[in-house]
Amino acid sequence: MGRVYESVLAFLQEDNWRYEEIPGETAVRLSFTGQNARYDCFGRVNEAHEVFVFYSIIPVRVPEAQRPLVAELLARINYGLNIGNFELDMNDGEIRYKTSIDIEGGDLTPRMAETLIAVNISTTDRYFPSFADVMYAGVAPVEAVARIERPDPSSRN
């Protein structure tokens, strides 16, 4: 087991995450229940390149006819993101959110792993309603993003 993978496991253990190691790989599987859905997640370490990648899977598949609209939605969401990006598998309709870090020559601390995972799951859950709006309610991608990113007038001082 390499030092990057050990750091990921250290964070998961310290933070009391329930996870499963994937046999034969430097990878873990876990689930997260947010405000909007339950997400299957997995993290994978490439020790040779000193990279940690974490994914959250959106729990619905995009029907083939709606994939172009959802691809537009992802492009609009991704444009404003500072960390990570959404991906759409155009073959099967799977949507996932990816965060990653290249720590070549450095160390991955448990705090860095925590940030990478926390940003991933919070962003995935934040934008989940926009996928439902586009796929099931016929909302245009530009409006679906605006609904998520628009400041709430009631929260202003």
pLDDT of 76 > 80? The answer is yes
Q: Tell me whether residue 22 is in a domain.
A: yes
How does DSSP assign 1-66, residue by residue? --HHHHHHHHHHHHTT--EEEPTTSSEEEEEEE-SS-EEEEEEEEETTTTEEEEEEE-SSPPPGGG
- Digit-coded pLDDT (tens) for 18-27: 999 999 999 9
CATH number at residue 36: 3.30.1460.10
Structural domain including 93 reads 3-63+83-125
Q: Tell me whether residue 143 is in a domain.
A: no
- Digit-coded pLDDT (tens) for 94-114: 999 999 999 988 888 888 999
Position 155 confidence tier, pLDDT thresholds 50, 70, 90 = very low
Residues constituting the chain:
157
List of residues 6+ apart from 105 with CB closer than 8 A:
50
Q: Tell me whether residue 55 is in a domain.
A: yes
- If one counts the domains in the chain, the total is 1
Whole-prediction pTM: 0.91
Q: Tell me whether residue 132 is in a domain.
A: no
What's residue 156's pLDDT? 37
What's residue 3's pLDDT? 86
Q: Tell me whether residue 134 is in a domain.
A: no
Q: Tell me whether residue 146 is in a domain.
A: no
